[in-house]
Amino acid sequence: MIILRSITKIFKEYTIKSAIIKVVNGNIVTTNLQEVKTFDTVTSKTAPKIVKQILQLPKNETVVIKEINFKEKKYRMTAEDFLEKAVEVKI
């Protein structure tokens, strides 16, 4: 009988709050977008691109990032369960 350890992994779930800026009749108009959640690493530089990709916005759309938050989530499973579900990767 082999005793296997458990495997633990911490993921950061990022939440991005953003808005679109447009000029309408000479006035600047902002429209809030829905929150975007992702496990990809988000910085102030990468956030607009991530929002555009997830919300399927045109590349020329002006997106302003209002807030970036993250929560760390910890997941654990036994090594036996992991080996049953994992796909072997050749080294």
Residue 73 in contact with residue 8, Cβ under 8 Å? no
pLDDT at 3: 64
pLDDT at 88: 87
Q: What is the mean pLDDT of residues 56-79?
A: 93
Largest CA distance in the chain: 75
Instruction: State the Cα angle at 23 between 18 and 25, rounded to 5°.
Output: 145
- State pLDDT tens for residues 23-36: 989 999 999 999 99
Give the containing element (helix H, strand E) for 69.
strand 63-78
